[in-house]
Copies of this chain bind each other. A is one copy, B any other.
């Protein structure tokens, strides 16, 4: 028996009243590879955006594997829900297509937070490309915010390009570090350090407290050498123990200061506008390429001319002109 999907009205009403089942189903539509599911998800989102939403705060959390991202998010999320905030935890992990068990994994890793009625945890969507995974997370942010989750934490795997994707959809960027780093930045690329608004040395517990404080001083010096951020915010460096639940409040206070500072100088709103423009451009160009390469005439012509190009019998530019002429609208329909 084919399961019937809820109607747009049911989705909209359900999500607005924070119905977790309907929220989950709507996210599943966003994550679906079926065009009719995606179209339905977009209609739902379009309807939800008609009504002014509660202001939200989107925070990226990253760091190398082993730095304790999940424990940190569990501690921070638990702290926030205790303050009455509603916390959604999302993730961008392009490798999650491989490990299908990540849902269970995530919930197990955040045992306490996942049982809170004020928290909503969703593992990374899967996808063929980082672009696809990131797009799904970006749309999911709109859904969880419509359901009233005012604080959105976006976890990334801490390697490769997924940080840039998370950076392009969040208001603040938290980089977790291990104590005892020495001069090397723990294999973290300079570009990622430059994105961070807050560096947090985690695992400042038991015999690592001294080491963590040394690392903190070291990173504090390092951040002084970084160029001024577009937000004019000077990155802060803190130490905490997610395991022992120390320093978590200070992390949140630093994030709250960042939010206040950037709201006051206009960067917060300006950044959101820039991000929206960025995602519009991405979506346009991805969609355009997608349709182009799927087009049967393009496919056939490309197959034919590619061989000539690869064998130096045709210039890549002539081949491109010829293929494009088969696809592009011949004359503008005004």
Where the two chains meet, the residues of A that have a C-beta atom closer than 8 Å to any C-beta of B are 39, 42, 45-46, 49-50, 53, 135, 138-139, 142, 272-273, 276-277, 279-280, 282-285, 287-289, 291-292, 295-297, 302, 305-306, 309-310, 312-321, 323-324, 327-329, 332-334
Contacts and interface: CB of A to CB of B under 8 A. Distances in A.
A49 B282 CA distance: 36
B332 A295 contact: yes
Given A288-B292, A289-B288, A324-B284, A318 B277 contact: no
Nearest to A334: B296
A283 B333 contact: no
10 contacts: A42-B317, A135-B317, A138-B317, A272-B312, A279-B317, A280-B316, A287-B320, A287-B321, A288-B289, A288-B328
A278 B246 CA distance: 52
Give me the 10 closest cross-chain CB pairs, A-B, nearest first: A283-B320, A279-B316, A280-B316, A42-B318, A284-B320, A273-B310, A287-B324, A296-B332, A45-B315, A276-B309
Given A291-B324, A297-B333, A306-B277, A314 B46 contact: yes
A162 B21 CA distance: 51
Given A276-B316, A288-B292, 6 more contacts: A46-B314, A46-B315, A276-B309, A288-B328, A296-B332, A327-B329
B276 A321 contact: no
Contact of A276 (B42, B273, B283, B312): B312
Given A295-B329, A318-B42, A49 B285 contact: no
A318 B45 contact: yes
Contacts of A277: 306, 309-310
A300 to B, nearest CB: 9
Copy number of this protein in the oligomer? 2
Contacts of A289: 285, 288
Contacts of A282: 316
A123 B213 CA distance: 55
Contacts of A312: 49, 53, 272, 276
Contacts of A42: 315, 317-318, 321
Contacts of A287: 320-321, 324
Contacts of A142: 315
Contacts of A139: 315, 317
B332 A283 contact: no
Nearest to A312: B49
Contacts of A53: 312
A317 B276 CA distance: 10
B280 A319 contact: yes
Contacts of A324: 284, 287-288, 291
A334 B279 CA distance: 33
Given A276-B316, A315-B139, A284 B323 contact: yes
A183 to B, nearest CB: 12
A325 to B, nearest CB: 10
A39 B158 CA distance: 47
A138 B320 CA distance: 14
Given A142-B315, A288-B292, A297 B332 contact: yes
Contacts of A50: 313
